[in-house]
Structure 1
């Protein structure tokens, strides 16, 4: 990418009150080396304009673990173990919300960006508001719980020290919610179900408890079966559109790199520094998951199942961290009524540097990867937190920063938009065309 990227732009201003003007103007920005950055820039612009995308999904229902939890674990942990999770303490939430919200991140999660892109509000955590009014859940609910596993707490050989909640429990909570609705069939037909990512905790607990790679591989089919069984159960209830993420490359996670620190040199990828055998394990999970999802598609040809390839998306960033720049434009755009070439120059000059740290946590308690197995971001002793989370991939050694979540969400949304069957069932043609103009195909 050129260092003087602004010289390629003509002089034009964008009126943020005119979406069509923004779209037609931004179509000019289509130089070859920066397609992905332009797509992400478009994603940010649209997210900053509070105009809902009408005619598609009226709500989102999310299931999973801390990758998607927007506050459920806080409510559950107080009742279960009397200990508040570290996501409830600063500096969590500092980038976007400017306070802890229960998200294991400095800002927004992938599920937050997806909701924004579809013109929907952030999903309220079910366990915080389940005794309230149904109006709060009008546009969806988040059932994801930090620490939750795909496997039941009674599954032999694995102890979950964080929560007894599993995917089965989340689905049961969802069914309790549906029992309060007289229109739940129509609700499900017009909803997007985000099933995961989940299963990562089952694996991490097993590895931390000394299980061998062979032992953990043996229960991958059980993890995948839990996910697909939940999907089938929701299909029977009337759900028609699912987004199902795969596992991340866990061999690049500071938590795993710390757990297996001191491994033989030949076990590390010389380009990324990730542990190759752990990444191969993630790929094994994903391959089996995709195989089972295809079986569901064959059994239910009218059901839309979109696989979200978290693994490939994040590996692209690990392989070329300088290509994918820092994404500070949410704050940058917030107070700008018009966007001129000067603003664009400022914007691109700030995102060109890319990610400075890929394997070290921004917020942690020290060590080579700034991650300690006995501590966590937000808990004492004093947390060591970087000044610029957007230049780091990992927020706390386990979860990504908002900057990475935004990049992942962009690709996931593209995968969703490219699911023609899903769009034809749920979105009018005018909305499909609008979305395809806003989100052209990226190089990610």
Structure 2
């Protein structure tokens, strides 16, 4: 139950931009469900012919319109939230809508189909119709509720205030695949997906427009593992079935459908900024059960309990038919609790119970489930790893100090930051109520009570055989920074434990805080820079798997040292840095994109980020007690650059400090003789109007804008506010 409550807590966090509500205030008052027979609690049965026995026999004792021997996943979700089972919207007899309504109907599709209920079992109540029913439901129940003269007149009606607080569940898509498989080839089927997914997005948008904010969206299960798909294939070709016995081609189509669905949900998260959209991987959950059936107490994974499907003859559960002159009654099996499939299409009460238990805790969700309540999410410290985008003085202390005009806007003096003021890591610290991080390498007036910063300008993920003096590459690569942290933890813990009084512990972190701290990682830009200096773009991309492996090793080591909450930035649009766009007097067509950014370098950065995200997803399964939040800095920075003037900045690709013209580079604060004239690379008059500080790094104003847009989770996967980053551990 706690995960669904945490899901709703997230929408509150989004609304108040990072202010965490206590989870005890986070009560979901109602559920509104949209879908097909996987979650229909009686809609089709009421609208058409009622489902007869033996459906319902295990739990209810009578048919209830559910395609199972008992409860569905939606029933277990309602139970987990302390709510009654949902009444079907189309069932007018003894309906109670006080705690929500169910618009799902068996046979429903996302996209309207020109097929009938009577011939192919296709519901006329497609997703768009269900949404229209909800609109009517909301309008009419609100009218009657507000017109009520006493409490009894309000009985069985939802409180109008609850619509914005309710959970909106969508479980649909299986019948869209079924319709495809009946009439189209698999490639033709896949070609319909963009339109289907767009119809899905339109439905979500309409629900959002009608007040929905918390969405719990199931993808479609392994269609090729339905017994109805695996029967009646006496002489299959090699590779037709996978190792479990499922139809590989149909599962591959379902996987592609789910990929496009998830991509659309990710897009919707940016478009519906104050909504929480949780994508639930039902395919993975169901596939895990099927592939591990016997260990979970079930018999043969692909058998079914009720029905007759042999030799090309289909007699559906509860019906009778004549086979070779013999009457066959498609009754149920002796013990449905030992079988996964109820009727060769739907799941038994026991299987639904297993699946529900494994999705309700967030194990198969994106965002993944929380391990603790939001009220306990107090981050006592930050440990940062990275490059100059988050270096608060490390490289400056180790080598030459950064001089003016760096630091001029906020600090008034140089502080070792590559900016006129604060960096994103500074705004993160402010958000969490923590002081700015002292650099690990800066021994002067360092205070490590609330964390430390191991980032250094020029740092890379992968060790590079280049020097700081020639190419500005830091000797403190990510693996070295992790080793520094290990030493830091050991030594500070020793001195903390040896301290005889409180003053001896001043400026030292409490050893207990290491497991509760936030571990931020912002690195990778210099790995691209090294690539672009010496390799073709294709050669550069070929190095990424090794770089990602080094990154994963660093995260694994931090995890082994006790880190649990990770906040990981991807790399920004490299091709939009002014240093990348200058000195190209006669570019070929297509060299720059519509913003003026170098398209080839930005494309390489996009591929880098794709592989980084894939690796983080993999790490989530390998590090079961960790919360890994992936922050799309590329998208955040690109949005700022593409909308610079509307956000109060001048030309998006200009820079404030430095001189970069005609093949000559004079870096911020330096001077040089050019054609007999001394050029001093001073700062501009108003850095707050410029995005780039020095043609590579960002101004304080730009960093502030970016920080404000990532801190609330708008660009994160999972989309959690940074104040809740520690509450999203996965329990796979």
TM-score when normalising by structure 1: 0.69
- Report matched runs for 1:38-53 at 5 Å: none
Secondary structure of 2:208's counterpart equals helix
- Report matched runs for 1:21-420 at 5 Å: 55-77=26-48, 84=49, 88-129=51-92, 136-154=96-114, 160-180=120-140, 181=142, 186-196=161-171, 198-208=172-182, 210-258=183-231, 262-270=235-243, 272-324=244-296, 354-367=297-310, 374-381=314-321, 382-415=329-362
Cα displacement string for residues 351-391 of structure 1 (whole angstroms, at most 9, x for unaligned residues): xxx111211111012427xxx66421112231142111111
1:241–1:422 contact (8 Å) kept in structure 2 = no
| CA apart distance, 1:419 | 7.5
Q: Distance in 2 between matches of 1:410 and 1:291?
A: 26
1:153–1:165 contact (8 Å) kept in structure 2 = no
Secondary structure of 2:136's counterpart equals helix
Identify the structure with bigger relative contact order (alpha carbons < 8 Å, sequence gap 6+): 1
Secondary structure of 2:344's counterpart equals coil
Q: Distance in 2 between matches of 1:239 and 1:422?
A: 21
| CA apart distance, 1:154 | 4.4
Q: 1:190 to 1:429 in 2, by over 3 A?
A: farther
TM-score when normalising by structure 2: 0.43
Q: Which residue of 2 aligns with 1:346?
A: none
1:72–1:126 contact (8 Å) kept in structure 2 = yes
Q: Distance in 2 between matches of 1:416 and 1:235?
A: 26
Cα displacement string for residues 27-52 of structure 1 (whole angstroms, at most 9, x for unaligned residues): xxxxxxxxxxxxxxxxxxxxxxxxxx
| CA apart distance, 1:440 | 9.5
Which consecutive unaligned segments of at least 5 residues does structure 1 have?
A: 1-52, 78-83, 325-353, 431-438
1:304–1:421 contact (8 Å) kept in structure 2 = no
| CA apart distance, 1:302 | 1.9
Q: Distance in 2 between matches of 1:204 and 1:306?
A: 25
Q: Distance in 1 between matches of 2:204 and 2:368?
A: 18
| CA apart distance, 1:222 | 2.0
Secondary structure of 1:205's counterpart equals helix
1:108–1:402 contact (8 Å) kept in structure 2 = yes
User: Root-mean-square deviation (CA), in Å?
Assistant: 3.0
- Report matched runs for 1:4-15 at 5 Å: none
Q: 1:101 to 1:440 in 2, by over 3 A?
A: farther
Q: Which residue of 1 aligns with 2:575?
A: none
Number of residues paired by the alignment? 334
| CA apart distance, 1:212 | 1.2
Q: Structure 1 residues 258-267 or 383-392, which shifts more? A: 258-267
Q: 1:309 to 1:422 in 2, by over 3 A?
A: closer
- Structure with higher Rg: it is 2
Q: 1:245 to 1:418 in 2, by over 3 A?
A: closer
Q: 1:418 to 1:144 in 2, by over 3 A?
A: closer
| CA apart distance, 1:422 | 10
| CA apart distance, 1:394 | 0.5
| CA apart distance, 1:148 | 0.9
| CA apart distance, 1:205 | 2.5
Q: Point out the structure with the larger helix share.
A: 1
Q: 1:422 to 1:298 in 2, by over 3 A?
A: farther
Cα displacement string for residues 266-303 of structure 1 (whole angstroms, at most 9, x for unaligned residues): 22112x11111111111100000000000011122321
Q: Distance in 1 between matches of 2:375 and 2:190?
A: 44
Which consecutive unaligned segments of at least 5 residues does structure 2 have?
A: 1-23, 147-158, 322-328, 377-727
Q: Which residue of 2 aligns with 1:36?
A: none
